[in-house]
Amino acid sequence: VRPLHARTLVGIPEIRPGDDLAAFIDAAAAPGGLMAGDVLAIAHTAVSKSEGALVELGSVHPSARARELAEQQGKDPRLVQVVLDESDEVLRAERGVLISRTRHGLVCANAGVDASNSGGRETVVLLPRDPDASARALRRRLRELAEVHDHQGAPAVVITDTFGRPWRLGQTDVAIGLAGLIPFDDWRGRRDAEGQELRATVLAVADAVAGLVDLAREKDSREPVVLVSGLERFVTEDDGPGARALVRPPDEDLFR
């Protein structure tokens, strides 16, 4: 196994709607450039901003339900309305946090709506409308740029968000969008050197890669992209099933 190496890409500017994020990434990765077996882990806020997935709170008219929840939880009713708009179902409202299942099926706080990192106090950042499609589009564009520059191909793309965990304190980054990286490494049925079946383990490789974003960069550094090498064995030519495959179907949720 090759050693794993991760570094933040320096010099990506604050992203605005319509920006060509892939071109900024391609430029920031020079002169080494991006290799076909590399993996890019990208904080979703950069992707959301480039896609214009932003809401001006001044344009939001909170419903009666949003105003009620906001009062209970001590939140801005306009922000609560945006969270409701992004949610299929609110699972909990407690201690100032709304936990919901988003339109993508993700269970997380505030439906992934981010009131910081937005470049303005009255603007919030949503999750990308379809994060797997965003990852595929970024990979496609990176492949185009690689051909122009005669680089060695397009890396895999992992789009991340920071989620809490029910039984553990603190948050970790997980994969919400994915292209070209296998979501799982399935070890079931493989046998060890003594022929004994290994523990039923399906490693969530894409989430482990997403966790690297926390480690390789400083959170306030405005460096939303981490370049990882040494994971070639998990990278595929096809874009694959995406991060949607990591979402546990509600009927398999052990905790409902």
Interface region with a second copy, contact rule CB under 8 A, candidates 48-56, 71-79, 80-88, 243-251: 243-251
Which one, 98 or 137, has the nearer CB to a second copy?
A: 98
Q: What are phi and psi of 109, to 5 degrees?
A: -70, 135
Q: Are 39 and 228 in contact (CB under 8 A)?
A: yes
Interface region with a second copy, contact rule CB under 8 A, candidates 21-29, 47-55, 74-82, 199-207: 199-207
Which one, 19 or 184, has the nearer CB to a second copy?
A: 184
Is residue 222 part of the contact set for a second copy (CB under 8 A)? yes
Which one, 154 or 227, has the nearer CB to a second copy?
A: 227
Q: Are 134 and 161 in contact (CB under 8 A)?
A: no
For a second copy, which residue of 107, 111, 142, 181 counts as binding (CB under 8 A)?
107
Is residue 198 part of the contact set for a second copy (CB under 8 A)? yes
For a second copy, which residue of 56, 89, 147, 197 counts as binding (CB under 8 A)?
197
Is residue 219 part of the contact set for a second copy (CB under 8 A)? yes
Q: Are 8 and 216 in contact (CB under 8 A)?
A: yes
For a second copy, which residue of 64, 166, 237, 238 counts as binding (CB under 8 A)?
166
CA–CA gap between residue 139 and residue 155 (Å, rounded)? 7
CA–CA gap between residue 123 and residue 71 (Å, rounded)? 21
- Say which residues have a Cβ less than 8 Å from residue 10's Cβ, sequence separation at least 6: 28, 223
Cis bond before residue 62 (omega within 30° of 0): no
Is residue 8 part of the contact set for a second copy (CB under 8 A)? yes
Q: What is residue 169's DSSP assignment?
A: S
CA–CA gap between residue 156 and residue 175 (Å, rounded)? 12
Is residue 165 part of the contact set for a second copy (CB under 8 A)? yes
Q: Looking at this protein, which amino acid is placed at residue 10? A: V
Stretch 172-191 residues interacting with a second copy (CB under 8 A):
172-174, 183-185, 187, 190-191
Interface region with a second copy, contact rule CB under 8 A, candidates 16-24, 53-61, 139-147, 210-218: 210-218
Is residue 254 part of the contact set for a second copy (CB under 8 A)? yes
Is residue 119 part of the contact set for a second copy (CB under 8 A)? yes
CA–CA gap between residue 163 and residue 184 (Å, rounded)? 19
